[in-house]
Amino acid sequence: MNKALNSLLPMFGWSPERLGELDITGPMDPVLPTPFRITETSAATLSAIGLAVNDLWELRTGRRQRVTLNTRHATASLRSTGYIKVGDKTKPPKTGVMGMFPTKDGRWYYVHANFPHHRAAALKVLGVSEDRDAVVKAIAQRDAFELEEAVLAAGGAGGMVRSKEEWAQHPQSAAIASLPMMEIVKIGEAPPEKLPAGDRPLSGIRVLDLTRVVAGPVGTRTLAEHGADVLRITSPHLPHIDIQELETGHGKLSAKIDLRQPADVEKLRGLVRECDVFCQGYRPGTIASRGFSPEELAKLRPGIVAVSLSAFSHAGPWSGRRGFDTAVQATSGIAWRQGQLFPIGGPGPQFYPVSTIDYLVGHLIAVGTMVALKRRATEGGSWLVRTSLAQVGKWLVDQGEVPESELKGIPSEFTPEELASWMTTTQCPAGLVHHFSPILGLSETPPRWDRPSVPVGHHQPVWPAR
């Protein structure tokens, strides 16, 4: 088996013999044009999901299942948002002012502008309107580091593009290197809790999903695939991308709670008392400031599994920095290396062709959650599962690169026949949605979503009956 999967086994307390439960077919890297081992790592994290599901299934039944996976399907799923259709509508193109642009000091700066408030912050700092040519000219008159700091101070996101060598010398890189890729730690005492009754691995498990964008929502969607009741909570004032919400919302309930209102804070506290998992994806301290730190959650609901996801980890000078998959690529050297080997449209940094870090993080927090639930069932206790985009990005880079000699003539797209075989159609409130099926195969409990994806805030913030 591959290096990436073997590196996960001790993290989750598994022996090498567990690999005998897996049937993996298809090629390894390169599947798409990138030197990074995106196929190996996606296959590894998806396989880990299968092994974690097996542990819970064995608790219920005493039996284990065969886990099957196709590596090309796994790789394609790293950009599943790009394939979803609602009727004839596909994902809209990114805003024209988003991208990586050359700066006055001969460097590059990444403008993150998916959301209106981040776009507005960047434009305010640059002193221009939403016009790509104006943005390019304004960035060309600024130094990259100065611009990075100014946009972040204004409430924006993005960053100065760095090489891998530069990132290795950065204090934040050192902070991340001092951490494990993921932590699963006991944070409170509680008696063991058996899994709720049900005929699926996660039947009866209640998950509060306070994550955003891709990584966290993919993780909680994965829990829904295996039977969990996932209640997605967002605030009425936060922006979202409709088609992205549909793609990551399969199997979930969706409600709005405004934590700026004391009554809604109490409403969330009531939901916490009746849940099993609390998953949050904000900067460290953001949710904690509202009274929902992992330690406070453990007091409110002994036996809870608290999942905490951030951009650049909870340690180091960037611990409070806003970030996304693309921002991690830009600042940590991934985009620079991708551009060296695949300078599409001219020299300069490039993003790899999928959202690898986002999806790897989603897979891994699902695994960490299930490992913690098993420990709760057998040992008792409240548990914290903690990681970040940057920690998982380091793990991806640490797997090494595909030799350059093997990177010639790699197709950038999958065949129409492959894509058709991986898609399914679901009737949702938004219409007929064509989207990826679950990727993993299980011999006794094939993954499925029992609820259609719904618009944000479609439901009331209450738990369904067990």
- 């950009």: which residue's tokens? 79
Question: Which band of pLDDT confidence, cut at 50, 70 and 90, is reported for residue 2?
Answer: confident
The arithmetic mean of pLDDT across residues 357-369, rounded, is 98
Question: Which band of pLDDT confidence, cut at 50, 70 and 90, is reported for residue 94?
Answer: low
pLDDT of residue 285: 81
Q: Note the residue count of the chain.
A: 466
pLDDT of residue 202: 98
Residue 199: is its pLDDT beyond 60?
A: yes
Residue 77: is its pLDDT beyond 60?
A: yes
Question: Which band of pLDDT confidence, cut at 50, 70 and 90, is reported for residue 242?
Answer: confident
The arithmetic mean of pLDDT across residues 275-298, rounded, is 91
Q: Kindly state the percentage of the chain with pLDDT values over 70.
A: 98
Report the side by side order of strands in the sheet with 108-111.
Answer: 99-102, 108-111, 158-160
Domain ranges of the chain: 3-90+176-314+354-442
H helical segments located in 154-241: 164-168, 171-177, 215-225
The arithmetic mean of pLDDT across residues 168-179, rounded, is 97
Residue 91: is its pLDDT beyond 70?
A: no
The rounded distance, in Å, linking the Cα atoms of 396 and 190 is 35
Q: What pLDDT digit, counting tens, does each position of 290-325 carry? A: 889 999 999 999 999 999 999 999 999 999 898 899
More confident residue, 279 or 344: 279
Residue 282: is its pLDDT beyond 90?
A: no
- CA-closest candidate to residue 232, choices 280, 291, 165: 280
Residues 154/124, Cβ–Cβ less than 8 Å? yes
Residue 95: is its pLDDT beyond 70?
A: no
Instruction: Render the burial of 89-128: b for 16+ CB within 10 Å, e for the rest.
Output: eebeeebebbbbbbbeeebbbbbbbbbeebbebbbebbeb
Cβ burial, residue 415 (10 Å; 0-12/13-18/19+)? exposed
The rounded distance, in Å, linking the Cα atoms of 158 and 139 is 13
Please report how the helices 325-332 and 389-398 are oriented relative to each other, as an axis angle in degrees rounded to 10. 50
Residues 457/236, Cβ–Cβ less than 8 Å? yes
The rounded distance, in Å, linking the Cα atoms of 198 and 205 is 10
Question: Which band of pLDDT confidence, cut at 50, 70 and 90, is reported for residue 113?
Answer: confident
- The secondary structure of residue 346, as a DSSP letter, is S
Residues 136/276, Cβ–Cβ less than 8 Å? no
Question: Which band of pLDDT confidence, cut at 50, 70 and 90, is reported for residue 232?
Answer: very high
The arithmetic mean of pLDDT across residues 155-160, rounded, is 93
Sequence letter at residue 153: A
Question: How does the average pLDDT of the chain come out, rounded?
Answer: 94
pLDDT of residue 231: 98
Residue 1: is its pLDDT beyond 60?
A: no
Please report how the helices 389-398 and 356-378 are oriented relative to each other, as an axis angle in degrees rounded to 10. 110
Cα–Cα distance list, 205 to 9, 246, 294 (Å): 24, 22, 18
pLDDT of residue 33: 97
DSSP letter string over 240-260? Answer: --HHHHHHH-TTEEEEE--TT
pLDDT of residue 176: 97
The arithmetic mean of pLDDT across residues 422-445, rounded, is 94
Residue 179: is its pLDDT beyond 90?
A: yes
Pick the range with the lowest mean pLDDT from 82-86, 102-106, 328-332: 82-86
How many helices, marked H, and strands, marked E, lie in the chain? Answer: 17, 17
Sequence letter at residue 230: V
Q: What's the fold here for domain 3-90+176-314+354-442? A: Rossmann fold (3.40.50)
